[in-house]
């Protein structure tokens, strides 16, 4: 009888522990997106090299949505509507993220709660898009005057006009990384640029790459995004060592 009672107790404890672990990983992303009736809302996980669709739903006239995930580690996720830039979210296991917004200005008007770093990243992208509009307009002017005889003079003038835009964007990125060294969103900021290439490169800005490597591996040990960045640091150091050796 005692053995039976002990067995029942052990099974109960195992079930209780299992339910507790499952509840701990229960993560919810929900909210309301108005003026989006009939549109497909997609939730994707942003991997280290590509994205994976996890769930989707068609919004009704209320615009209410809810996605539930079982997360084992912190991650980056994309919430997207057709013909709109995706909203990028940093989500922790067990968190509840709320997102009210409107389809008319998605994702720039969303007010995110439950993920402060996601809200900060949203603000960063708004400022970056403003800089990108200026950069693209000046680049277009240059492209349309390639055949002009005074193209070289115009190019120099535009370079002078672009310099403060580049410097402002670079400061925007370094300030963000400095303020959010323990956030996976800083990895996205690290790779931002106004043109084809990122503004921050390891050769000139290694302090930010190394700072993130150290802080993220402490904050998220074993996390795939942190590990991927760590491998990048190892490769960059190896490349630098080879260059110094050849010189």
183-203: pLDDT as tens digits: 999 999 999 988 778 999 999
Location of structure tokens 């591996």: 217
Assess contact for 78 and 86: CB atoms under 8 A: yes
Q: What is the dihedral of CA 218, 220, 221, 224, to 10 degrees?
A: -130
pLDDT at 8 over 60: no
Q: Where in the chain do CATH 2.60.40.180 domains reside?
A: 27-114
Average pLDDT, the chain: 86
CA pseudo-torsion sign 110, 114, 118, 124: positive
- Rounded to whole angstroms, how far apart are CA atoms 219 and 230? 13
In the chain, pLDDT over 90 holds for what percent of residues?
Answer: 66
Q: Is 83 left (phi over 0), alpha (psi -120 to 50) or beta?
A: left
54 vs 160, more confident: 54
Report how far residue 107's alpha carbon sits from residue 78's, in angstroms, rounded to the nearest whole number: 11
Q: In the chain, count of helices (H) and strands (E)? A: 6, 7
Overall average pLDDT of the 19-44 stretch:
81
Q: Does the structure show a pLDDT above 50 at 76?
A: yes
**Quick one: pLDDT at residue 142?**
65
**CATH number assigned to the domain with residue range 27-114, chosen from the 4 options 2.60.40.180, 3.40.50.300, 3.30.70.360, 3.30.160.20:** 2.60.40.180
CA atoms within 13 A on the CB side of 151: 9
Alpha helices, H only, 76-222: 116-143, 151-179, 185-190, 202-219
Question: How far apart (Å, rounded) are the C-alpha atoms in residues 72 and 66?
Answer: 19
| pLDDT of residue 27 exceeding 80 | yes
pLDDT for residue 68 is more than 50: yes
- What is the predicted pLDDT for the residue at 102? 93
pLDDT, residue 6, reads 40
Q: Does 236 score more than 80 pLDDT?
A: yes
Average pLDDT for residues 164-176, to the nearest whole number? 95
pLDDT confidence band for 149 (50 / 70 / 90): confident
pLDDT level of residue 15 (50, 70, 90 thresholds): very low
Note the pTM of the prediction, 2 decimals: 0.82
Contacts of 156 (CB under 8 A, 6+ apart): none
């Amino acid at each position: 009888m005692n053995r039976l009672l002990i067995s029942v107790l052990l099974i109960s404890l195992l079930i209780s522990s299992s339910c507790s672990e499952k509840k701990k990983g229960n993560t919810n992303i929900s909210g309301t997106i108005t003026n989006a009736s009939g549109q497909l809302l997609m939730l994707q996980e942003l991997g280290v090299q590509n994205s994976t669709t996890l769930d989707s739903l068609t919004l009704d006239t209320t615009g209410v949505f809810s996605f539930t995930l079982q997360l084992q580690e912190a991650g980056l996720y994309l919430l997207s509507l057709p013909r709109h830039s995706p909203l990028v979210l940093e989500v922790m296991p067990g968190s509840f993220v709320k997102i009210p917004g409107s389809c008319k200005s998605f994702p720039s008007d969303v007010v995110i709660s439950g993920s402060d770093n996601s809200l900060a990243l949203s603000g960063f992208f708004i400022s970056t898009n403003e800089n990108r509009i200026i950069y693209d307009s000046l680049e277009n002017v240059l492209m349309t005057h390639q055949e002009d005889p005074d193209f070289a003079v115009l190019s120099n003038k535009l370079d002078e006009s672009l310099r403060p835009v580049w410097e402002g964007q670079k400061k925007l990125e370094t300030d963000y990384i400095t303020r959010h060294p323990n956030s996976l969103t800083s990895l996205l900021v690290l790779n931002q640029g106004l043109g084809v290439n990122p503004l921050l490169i390891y050769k000139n800005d290694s302090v930010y790459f190394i700072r993130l490597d150290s802080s993220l591996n402490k904050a998220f040990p074993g996390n795939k995004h942190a590990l991927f960045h760590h491998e990048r640091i190892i490769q960059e150091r190896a490349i630098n060592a080879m260059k110094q050796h050849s010189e």
